[in-house]
Chains A and B, each alone.
Chain A
Amino acid sequence: MPDYAWPDAQHRTLIGARVTRVDAPVKVSGQAKYTYDVHRPGMLYGKVLRSPYAHAKVVSIDTSAAEKMPGVKAIHIVQGPGSTIHWAGDDIVAVAAVDEPTAEDAVRAIKVKFQQLPHLVSDAEPPKGSAQEEGPLSIDAIDDMLDNQVPANQMVSTIQRDGLIKKASDEDLNMLKADGATDAVLEAIRSATLHPEASAKPPSNYQKAAAQTVGDPDKAFAEADAVSEGMYGIPVITHCCLESHGSISEWTDHEHLFTHISTQNVSGIPGQMAEPLKIPATNIRVHQDNIGGGFGSKFSPDRWGIFTAEVSRKAGGKPVRIMLERDTELKVAGARPSAYARVKVAAKNDGTLVAWQSSSWGTGGPGGGGMPPIPYVFRVPNQRQEHTAIRNNIGPARAWRAPNHPQAAVLTMCALDDLAAKLNLDPVEFFGRNLNLTQQREHTYREELSIASELMGWKQKWHPRGQNASGDTARGVGLSFHTWGGRGHASDCDLTIHPDGSVELKMGSQDLGTGTRTCILMVAADTLGIPMDAIQLQIGDTTYPPSGGSGGSTTIGGVTSSTRRASVDARDAVFAKVAPALNVQSDQLECVNGKVMVKGDSSRFLSWKEACSKLAVMPVTMRGKNPDKNKPPDLTNSGVGGVQMAEVEVDTDTGIVKVKKMVAVQDCGLVIDLKTAESQCHGALIMGISYSLFEEKVMDPVTGRMLNADMEFYRLAGLNDIPELVVHMMTGKGYDERGVIGLGEPPVISPGAAISNAVANAIGVRVPFLPLTPDRVLTALEQKAGA
């Protein structure tokens, strides 16, 4: 059996080193092509008429004037008369024309009559007694679960428990399948108990979503030495990918579609487009060289991906480009659900946590959304939680980098930090005392907490709350913990070695800017003992072996595992041909520095080129897979922990918060490229500062529209907002041998809680909700003064 295991530290040439990302030169020179940059011959430009109302019925559509306009090539009604619209900005009619201005004029010439319906865009605390009990599901509710990426097994158990309001039609089932329902979910729907009486009840905006009790919280609260109560929250924010969502689609003949699409999920797109377009998935080719940001919002072709193909079909198959405009991107192309909670926590005098109680709510738009995993990281022995999901008209939610975890971190770590303050304990000491509640990650967290404290200079910087101010400037420090899974996804790749020594690797994956290309090449080059630039890597096309979508920090584990197995097998095929020439058994050979040589005898070798020439005329192609039980060991793993600390300065006159320093200490098993791994952490800290201080999707209760759908008032952190950033990756013994684990999400989880805790430490009072804007800081200071 070949040895697929990761080489140990002495036998690695590239893995674990700091390697410059391979696609940086094409990116810095403007040569990297993104979907938005694709210019196909004869390409038409699409524009979309959108609903101005958050909740409305389409009454009539008149496209006659637009049809007569010169240059208009196709008009496609996306949601016709009778359709109900659930958020402002939803697609109604798509138009393709010879250029963008003409398409815009055509959209303006279309007349749509809407009947407005009452809307809700608030996610304020649900009125008492308003929440509907969990009950039979509608097809819409199931579709919402798909939109919210509820795991299939959870969907099946919910459907089995609650039943359906009415029997699902074949059309319903097809629609759900197109939206990503698995066979198990479809089967659960077919066999669900029916409760037709339930449909008579008007649906409420408020739905009880979860309630659970662990241990005996009442007794634990009664016996505790200290109890802290507070309200915490984190609003809806958007993904704001710089490359908006969209695609360029063309029909190469009546049955075949070629689409360039901005996606995190190249291999998974055809299967989602086949059913709605009524062609087999085999007839759909997807290509993407680069993607300008996804962050969890680009797994599906989306309705606009489907209708771009439909518009192209109506235009005789000509390429049609529809990329969302910036305002639409912010309104409809994804948002992170909000989460708010009233939390009560209790501990003994020495800081030992004993009880947690939370009543939480939040919205993921029309689907409502679930309860974040609270209490987070720390398994408090006695708990009671209830959660109410608010279904409203703000637009749909999508997975946002570490779904539900940043929310859980804010609700948990801020509440625990307030309890520590009540006990007059240094948070490092308080959290340290409770690390046994983190179970299997305890040792990691303990190491990380100590390193982070050192790097922050916590001992010198921490003072009890509100006791580190001079004049109108207050300084403070705060911390937070987080966890994530990150096991590698399913991934196939083909590695081919040609008799001339050239090597190519093909994989239907994508590089989100996380360094995926670089890491694949590092693993292949390390295994074959040749330079990275001697390997031609092809990704981003459905003609290559399928590899999973880049979500949940699963890419690095998946692509490196399949690459390692393919590289080992291809290398061993070369060894088998070379062994007779060097007169040894093939297991006595190794690949080092562009040579195939006898282990322990550097005088007996062939150059890589000579070795490959032994293949005679036929290249050798090996398929690498992940997971692959037949080719152990498992090269990936799951479960990481991280600790972050923030130092802030608050101007108590203006309420302006400045982050002065952030420290991230993170493990992710075996690090492939230390350089891009550190960049991931830097990026996550920066994104974290951005959502902690600035970002919020602001909705207008009167019109139901998003008020800040641009990049001036939907503010992202700029270079000026970024402080000293310190990143420490946990590597070496105890970490490397765990295998490769994902890193995309974990470091973006903690900044909100760490920064909020630092502000509380500085000004001596909690600012309950993110973002920590000047008005919120001043309000909290005022309340403190008045208290």
Chain B
Amino acid sequence: MRDDDENLKDANHSSESPGVSRRDFLKISGISVAVPLVAGPKMVMAAGQQVPVYGPGKVPMEFAINGKNHKADLEPRVTLLDALRDQFELTGAKRVCDRAECGACTVLMDNKPVYACSVLAIEAQHRPITTVESLIEGGNLHPVQRAFVENDASQCGFCTPGFVVSCKAFLDSHPHPTPEDIRRGLSGNLCRCGTYEGIRKAIAQVAQKGA
């Protein structure tokens, strides 16, 4: 979860979340379960309650990505990022730090930016996921993307998709940002080539013109 977006504190704790909560995990730790290759949850009696256990083998999962339904059998430990990249070949989100530090894997979940490397795929099921690939509409670049192009806001381009998604989300929630807003709101993405100058100009341009 991105720590630069204060709206997201509860995004990962919806009640229908199928993962194993920490409390459940504590209840079942120590119980050994036979591992079929692909399985739904196994109900296990622990501390007098029926507790669903997913994995460690593959589990059937379903996702709503860019408005389409996607299915895959994945281990519960697989991240949303790896599912997107390796299962669905949506490789716009990049794997760089793989631990929520650089923002190159940023996608929208429930319309809010998240680090896909730090969301488990199993937790992301049935929640609307938007990746950079879907920002083009009818063959036209999104205004943020156009501004990135015009202001030369990419060099090697590896951080660019994450930045584009972050900028889009940021401008959606801050249509008239101050320079201070921009500095704070986009501090969750890192670039190595040093394209911040172009990114700053791109955001200012979109903010002025309106997205």
Contact = CB atoms under 8 A, between A and B. Distances in A.
A34 B95 CA distance: 11
Interface string B93-117: 1111111011010000000000000
A30 interface: yes
Contacts of A291: 156
B211 interface: no
Contacts of A37: 85, 91
Interface in A222-266: 240-244
A686 B161 contact: no
Contact of A719 (B93, B160, B196): B196
Interface string A71-92: 0000000000000000000000
Interface residues of A, number: 56
B141 A687 contact: no
Contacts of A419: none
B101 A100 contact: no
Contacts of B75: 101
B75 to A, nearest CB: 5
A603 B99 CA distance: 65
**Interface size grouping (class) on chain B:** 35 or more
Contacts of A244: 96
A99 B182 CA distance: 39
A242 B141 contact: no
B174 interface: no
A513 B191 CA distance: 12
Contacts of A31: 92, 133
Nearest to B159: A242
B42 interface: no
A101 B159 contact: no
Nearest to A25: B149
Interface string B163-205: 0100000000000000000111011011111111111100000
Contact of A20 (B145, B152, B191): B152
The winner among A27, A680, A683, A717 for most chain B CB atoms within 10 A is A27
Contact of A292 (B85, B94, B150): B94
Given A36-B95, A293-B193, A719 B200 contact: yes
Given A241-B192, A325-B98, A711-B97, A513 B156 contact: yes
A561 B45 CA distance: 74
A20 B150 contact: yes
Nearest to A240: B192
B136 A29 contact: yes
B154 A24 contact: yes
Given A682-B198, A719-B183, A293 B192 contact: yes
Contact of A718 (B86, B98, B149, B187): B187
Contacts of A314: none
Nearest to B202: A28
A33 interface: yes
Contacts of B190: 242, 711, 716, 718
A102 to B, nearest CB: 9
Contact of A29 (B86, B145, B193): B145
B157 interface: yes
B192 A716 contact: yes
Interface in A593-651: none
Contact of B133 (A30, A683, A717): A30
Contacts of B97: 326, 710-712
A19 B132 CA distance: 25
Nearest to B99: A710
A491 to B, nearest CB: 21
Contact of A100 (B82, B157, B198): B82
A21 interface: yes
A720 B187 contact: yes
Interface string A4-47: 00000000000000001101110111111110110100000000
A720 B184 contact: yes
B125 interface: no
B196 A722 contact: yes
A242 B158 contact: yes
Contacts of B182: 719
A680 B197 CA distance: 11
B77 interface: yes
B51 interface: no
Contact of B197 (A33, A676, A690, A722): A722
Interface in A686-736: 686-687, 690, 710-712, 716-720, 722, 725
A242 B92 contact: no
Interface in A483-520: 512-514
B77 A242 contact: no
Contacts of A243: 94, 96, 156, 158
A76 B6 CA distance: 47
B155 interface: yes
A243 B191 CA distance: 11
Nearest to B85: A37
A684 B155 CA distance: 12
A415 B96 CA distance: 38
B16 interface: no
A685 interface: yes
B186 A28 contact: no
Given A24-B148, A326-B98, A719-B199, A685 B194 contact: yes
Contact of A30 (B91, B101, B189, B192): B91
A536 interface: no
The winner among B82, B157, B164, B184 for most chain A CB atoms within 10 A is B157
Interface string B136-148: 1000010001001
Contacts of A678: 152
A218 B160 CA distance: 55
B156 A21 contact: no
B89 interface: yes
A677 to B, nearest CB: 10
Contacts of B192: 240-242, 293, 295, 687, 716
B85 A513 contact: no
A21 B104 CA distance: 21
A675 interface: yes
Given A28-B149, A28-B161, A39-B91, A684 B194 contact: yes
Given A24-B154, A30-B91, A679-B195, 17 more contacts: A29-B133, A100-B82, A242-B104, A242-B158, A242-B190, A292-B158, A293-B156, A293-B192, A326-B99, A512-B156, A513-B154, A683-B195, A687-B193, A710-B99, A711-B102, A716-B190, A722-B197
The 10 closest A-B pairs by CB, nearest first: A30-B92, A686-B194, A292-B158, A683-B194, A513-B156, A27-B157, A513-B155, A37-B91, A30-B132, A711-B101
